[in-house]
Chain A
């Protein structure tokens, strides 16, 4: 079992000395940004010109769903959010610290990416995970 929490997705990096961040792969030819490692750009087809970037933690709400029915064991309701980051990437995740009420959710609202424990979920070996969430920008 790992002493430190593990990253919830492979595009989350947890440096030994420093804050966790999300990593994008950006095409050197067309600037398309991808989540997860790759060598070929699926937008323009260019090979071997992918570079890694640290994704922005600032963005705005593009779309959402308020999930009232999910799989057994998943606490509802919650907001499933699609967020456009300021650097052009798009992420999906839970929007927290906002009431799950359409009256309280505004398109374009400024949000930030924060890192926190994965709601207490552990894998079969008992490992903890670090996840990311969106919350309204102060």
Chain B
């Protein structure tokens, strides 16, 4: 089986673009990714297009209507917050299977503002605020407080995640925000669902990211091996049965399963990873994933943030892009945007936020319901 390489990858600066259409936003990242490797849409044999908001709207085809109707197969993908990672993985799988030797994956989202989630209607009356809360900040607050219950993790430790990621984003011009948020600012911001304050919730933004993936042979033929990124592992997992998963959507066992399989596929361990972009949809979530991805022994996550191990310059920098908390979280685009971030470091092109000497990186996303996507990438 051939290896698969990312040869072109890019993302637009995340922001709010109500005047644009979803296909227009998606097209921008595609053109940038094609430029990154000197290709045109006529070089592409299949398009894997991830989007949630218009999941039944044939977004991939509408993108081709914008940039070139070459008649290639289009696969529209929707898989909650793992949508972009799933589109990338499907593209990867088509190269591994030998179906194609040059394909494109794109993730795009145009978001509204405000709260996501909420206990659904169904029969009769709204259950929100009656049978607890189904809002995302509350769901992830409960997931964080489960960690507090088990390991004594504190509000302050959760808040430090947000301080770190906002700091990282000051070095990333493609992030939605470039502002420092000191600890007291984070902790004293409007409380949304304790322990998540407003600055501990990811930012709803519009955005897109795209990647061109080629077989090893094609990458060599095109002379693109110099900046190519090898995909060492691509894993997707759904939520295995857990005793509380009827009331607590699973983000933990799903991530653990995917991480174990990804390390196995790559023949690597957590200690071999130089940087990580993980799913900090809320500050509480990032803490859980230090444990879940094996960056420390179970329960060691609080100490990791206290000691600065996960900050730029630390032992294993996490979310140096600014993460979903500050770069922003355009749901369907996030999975490919974090592949862009890790690839940029592996290429040594990340400027002020460069993780020095980065050779291997890991990306992680999780969509509630649940779907976890993990990729391990290495400089070719």
The reply to whether A102 and B194 form a contact with Cβ atoms under 8 Å apart is yes
CA distance A86 to B190 in the complex (A): 36
Distance in Å: Cβ of A26 to nearest Cβ of chain B: 13
The segment from B33-41, B136-144, B166-174, B267-275 found at the interface with A is B136-144
Q: Mark A54-97, 1 if CB is under 8 A from B, else 0.
A: 00000000111111111100111010111010001011111000
The segment from B42-50, B65-73, B127-135 found at the interface with A is B127-135
Does A14 make an interface contact (CB < 8 A)? Answer: no
**Chain A residue contacts of B142, Cβ below 8 A:** 63-65, 80, 82
CA distance A35 to B193 in the complex (A): 26
**Chain B residue contacts of A63, Cβ below 8 A:** 142-143, 145-146, 149, 248
Counting residue pairs across A and B whose Cβ atoms lie within 8 Å, the total is 134
CA distance A9 to B127 in the complex (A): 9
The reply to whether A71 and B190 form a contact with Cβ atoms under 8 Å apart is no
The reply to whether A90 and B247 form a contact with Cβ atoms under 8 Å apart is yes
Does B118 make an interface contact (CB < 8 A)? Answer: yes
Interface of B is mostly: loop
CA distance A82 to B155 in the complex (A): 19
**Contact status of A107 and B194, CB under 8 A, knowing A63-B142, A94-B130, A94-B132:** no
Does A48 make an interface contact (CB < 8 A)? Answer: no
The segment from B238-246, B297-305, B362-370 found at the interface with A is B238-246
The reply to whether A68 and B146 form a contact with Cβ atoms under 8 Å apart is no
**Contact status of A62 and B149, CB under 8 A, knowing A82-B248, A121-B130:** yes
**Chain A residue contacts of B141, Cβ below 8 A:** 64-66, 80
Does B56 make an interface contact (CB < 8 A)? Answer: no
CA distance A67 to B195 in the complex (A): 9
**Chain B residue contacts of A32, Cβ below 8 A:** 241, 243
CA distance A69 to B148 in the complex (A): 22
Does A10 make an interface contact (CB < 8 A)? Answer: yes
Q: Given A42, A62, A93, which contacts B131 in the complex, CB threshold below 8 Å? A: A93
Q: Mark B236-277, 1 if CB is under 8 A from A, else 0.
A: 000001011011100000000000000000000000000000
**Contact status of A92 and B129, CB under 8 A, knowing A66-B194, A68-B191:** no
Instruction: Name B139's closest neighbour in chain A (CB-CB).
Output: A65
Q: Given A8, A68, A82, A102, which contacts B192 in the complex, CB threshold below 8 Å? A: A68
B residues 96-116 in Cβ contact with A at 8 Å? 115
| Interface range for B | 35 or more
The reply to whether B132 and A70 form a contact with Cβ atoms under 8 Å apart is no
Number of interface residues of A (CB under 8 A): 45
The reply to whether B247 and A91 form a contact with Cβ atoms under 8 Å apart is yes
Instruction: Name B241's closest neighbour in chain A (CB-CB).
Output: A43
Distance in Å: Cβ of B134 to nearest Cβ of chain A: 9
The reply to whether A70 and B133 form a contact with Cβ atoms under 8 Å apart is yes
Does B185 make an interface contact (CB < 8 A)? Answer: no
Instruction: Name B132's closest neighbour in chain A (CB-CB).
Output: A80
The reply to whether A9 and B241 form a contact with Cβ atoms under 8 Å apart is no
Could you list some 26 contacts between A and B, CB below 8 A? A6-B124, A8-B130, A10-B123, A32-B243, A63-B143, A64-B141, A66-B141, A66-B191, A67-B129, A69-B135, A69-B191, A82-B142, A88-B243, A90-B243, A90-B244, A90-B246, A90-B247, A92-B132, A92-B248, A93-B132, A107-B145, A107-B148, A118-B130, A123-B125, A129-B125, A131-B130
Which 4 A-B pairs have CB atoms at the shortest separation, nearest pair first? Answer: A65-B141, A80-B132, A74-B129, A66-B194
Which chain A residues have a beta carbon within 8 Å of chain B's beta carbons? 6, 8-10, 32, 34-35, 42-43, 62-71, 74-76, 78, 80-82, 84, 88, 90-94, 102, 107-108, 118-119, 121-123, 127, 129, 131-132
